[in-house]
Amino acid sequence: MILIFAPMATLSHEAFRRLIHRFGGCSEYYTEMIHASSLNTNGRFEKYYLLNGPEPHKIVWQLTDSAEKPIVEAVSRVQTLGGIGIDLNMGCSAPAIYKLGAGISWMLKDRKETQSLVRSVRTQMDSSAEGCKRLSVKMRLGEESFTMEDLCSFADMLIGEGVNRLVLHPRTKRQNYGRPAQWKYVEQLASYIRAKHGTAVSVIGNGDISDRKSLEEKMKTAPSADGFMIGRSAVQKPWLFAELENSLSFTADLYELFCFFSDALDEFQPPEFRETRMRRFLAYYCNNFSFSHHLRTKLLKSFNISYQKEVFLSYFESQKSEQYIRIEKKTDIDTL
């Protein structure tokens, strides 16, 4: 079973990957989107985006920008850093990204422009004997008026230019997380690709996987998918991949995990990023607790680490049973 950690700005960095790794890791780790132009100009913080631990061989570098040239240059830079491959972000629909002409804009602009980008990226990747060779594209369904025919022809174009992996987050440009991801489209795309391109191209589904039950539902809806990508729920439960793999029983100590993550932020992120990274992490991590809103509000009052540790400790004083989560290996279910 291929289970992948999703690219998420401010979350998919080495400090967080180390937390997942504590529980045995996952199949692949996409990085948060790396802005190609900033990387190429050797911005002050770029070295942090290029950290590839703790399992460098499982890294997929996700790049974003609005133009071909900086992306191709960035490819030449990250390609030599190893890992599985490079991913082009064609799915991000955050207004700030979309308005720049990046993210999902690549699905919507003149097809020739996107085709040229992919062709140039593939040529760049093939020009060196070294380095990662898998090229993927992460995308959404497109505009609200998209048709499956459009999506499949877009996928054909990408594959024709050398893309070997498609990741589909089956929501349209405007759909937010309030509505469920539409996994029937993952199945439609994956079965189309399988019939037309065989096994040379893999299709990964992404969206709303939060536990074994939801994964099984997605597997049922999209049996042709080659793997599954998980974002927000893996931040809430860094042990989620281990839980889904069902290969061992373990106990997660949620206080100790918070302390570990905090130390990892100090080690693998610049001090200037500490607050934004911690804030985003807590937005999901606090969902583990029954008084999540109250706890989160308290934690966000100060980013002083002694203060935050104190807040957690006093929370666990009153909610003792919530500090530990026991995951039992189940013997009565099939291995995924």
Ligand X SMILES: Cc1cc2nc3c(=O)[nH]c(=O)nc-3n(C[C@H](O)[C@H](O)[C@H](O)COP(=O)(O)O)c2cc1C
Residue ranges in contact with ligand X by CB under 6 A: 6-9, 11, 32-33, 62, 89, 91-92, 138, 169, 206-209, 230-233, 280
Q: What distance in Å separates the CA atoms of residue 288 and residue 148, rounded to the nearest whole number? A: 37
**Residue of 232, 172, 164 lying closest to 203 (CA atoms):** 164
Q: How far is the CB of 97 from ligand X (least distance, A)?
A: 8
Q: Work out the burial of residue 106: count CB atoms within 10 Å of its CB; fewer than 13 is exposed, 13-18 middle, 19 or more buried.
A: buried
- Smaller CB distance to ligand X: residue 14 or 208? 208
**Residue of 300, 277, 279 lying closest to 49 (CA atoms):** 277
- Smaller CB distance to ligand X: residue 32 or 143? 32
- Smaller CB distance to ligand X: residue 25 or 231? 231
Q: How far is the CB of 143 from ligand X (least distance, A)?
A: 17
- Smaller CB distance to ligand X: residue 269 or 323? 269
- Smaller CB distance to ligand X: residue 66 or 206? 206
Q: How far is the CB of 204 from ligand X (least distance, A)?
A: 10
- Smaller CB distance to ligand X: residue 91 or 142? 91
- Smaller CB distance to ligand X: residue 31 or 323? 31
Q: How far is the CB of 31 from ligand X (least distance, A)?
A: 8
The residue nearest ligand X at its CB is 231
Q: What distance in Å separates the CA atoms of residue 321 and residue 201, rounded to the nearest whole number? A: 46
- Smaller CB distance to ligand X: residue 226 or 315? 226
**Residue of 255, 257, 253, 277 lying closest to 266 (CA atoms):** 277
Q: How far is the CB of 317 from ligand X (least distance, A)?
A: 31
Q: How far is the CB of 62 from ligand X (least distance, A)?
A: 6
Q: How far is the CB of 304 from ligand X (least distance, A)?
A: 24
Q: How far is the CB of 231 from ligand X (least distance, A)?
A: 3
The answer to whether 263 and 22 are in contact (CB under 8 A) is: no
